[in-house]
Amino acid sequence: MSGEIPKFLEAFHFLEILNLSYNNFEGMLPTEGVFKNASATFIAGNNKICGGIPEFRLPKCISRSSKGKGEARKLKLLLSIIFGLLGAVLVLVFVYVCWLKKKKAQEPTSSFIADSWQNLSYRTLLGATDGFSSTNLIGVGSFGSVYRGMLQENGTNVAVKVLNLTRHGALKSFKAECEALKRIKHRNLLKVLSVCSGTDYNGNDFKALVYEFMVNGSLEEWLHSSPIPADADEPSKNLSLIQRIKISIDIAFALDYLHNQCHSTIVHCDLKPSNVLLDAEMVGHVGDFGLAKIVLESTSYMNTNISSIGLRGTVGYAAPGMAPYIPNPLK
């Protein structure tokens, strides 16, 4: 026989002996009637029954609700452990991404002078810029001219800043820029690939800085572009509000690095739209450190000696702390 033991057997008050041994009964053993007498009820061999009076020494019955509660409790515990581990993993991933982003922001994509370009000569730069042709001239500054070029060795587009050493302060500007650039490593600063310090074919001193070429030019060109493009196929240059905000953030990252994260604080002293270059993804890069001021740790910011040089930088764009007017670089 199998199944549950019928409850109606409890109502047989005149039943004196009940032998259910060696069947396949299961479920709860009744506790009334003949079942109250362990010596009159025989249930041996039924391994799936439970409950009954204590004399039978059967295991306690587990109700479906209790079983369900137990399973629900186990499920809750399992879910808590899973979500706890998942939360811990997400926190670790977030911390790792923040660390990686910060590390990436402070690492250059190449060193100050790349190994493959350590020996750039006047002849190399002359060939790269087609003899410093006026057609490759992309900008003229206070101490020199900037030419677009292509290095023949690897086909890399570069911007070559040739110092006009006849101008007063040009050599000092070159040294200041080299001194500043060898100390800084940040993705929002214009990357210098190499320098050239030698003589030209006439025996005159020649000094130049070789930068990574920024395909979208300077911020000045985008803020004050001509309404009619010089090239009919060239689209007009307009910056959306989102692009302006992103470029402002790029500039802020660069200045925060220069002021707070360098070993010695570096003050750019000539931050203006023409000195902010944009790459193919419209990411801002601060360049032109010819007027940069390195503030030593032992020297307070306000005690830097600027009286002997007058106002550093372009009028209207004086560096913060160097003049009472603090400009907006996107103005």
Mean pLDDT to the nearest integer, 6-29: 88
Residue 119 clears pLDDT 70, i.e. is over it: no
- Return d(Cα 29, Cα 25) in angstroms, integer: 9
pLDDT tier for residue 294 given thresholds of 50, 70 and 90? confident
Q: How many CB atoms lie within 10 A of CB 147?
A: 24
Domain assignment of residue 277, yes or no? yes
By CB atoms closer than 10 A (0-12, 13-18, 19+), residue 142 is middle
The active-site residue out of 115, 205, 250, 270 is 270
Tell whether 214 is covered by a domain. Answer: no
Strand, coil or helix: 279:
coil
Amino acid, single-letter form, for residue 268 = H
Q: Give the range of the structural domain holding residue 327, as residue numbers without chain letter.
A: 236-331
Q: Residue 56's pLDDT is what?
A: 86
Residue 201's pLDDT band, with cuts at 50, 70 and 90, is confident
Reduced to 3 states, what is the DSSP secondary structure of residue 116? helix
The CATH number of whichever domain residue 290 belongs to comes to: 1.10.510.10
Residue 52 to residue 262: CA distance in whole angstroms: 82
- Catalytic (active site) residue 270: yes
Q: Please report whether residue 186 resides in a domain.
A: no
Does some domain include residue 298? yes
Strands 18-19 and 41-42: parallel
pLDDT at 261 over 60: yes
Q: What is the pLDDT of residues 39-56, one digit of tens each?
A: 888 888 888 888 888 888
Round to whole Å and give the CA distance between 260 and 278. Answer: 23
Do the domain assignments include residue 39? yes
DSSP 197-258: EEE-TTS-EEEEEEEE--TT-BHHHHHS--SS-SSTTSPP----HHHHHHHHHHHHHHHHII
CA 148/CA 218 separation, integer angstroms: 13
Instruction: Give CA angle at 110 (108, 114), nearest 5°.
Output: 145
The total number of structural domains in the chain stands at: 2
Q: Does some domain include residue 51? A: yes
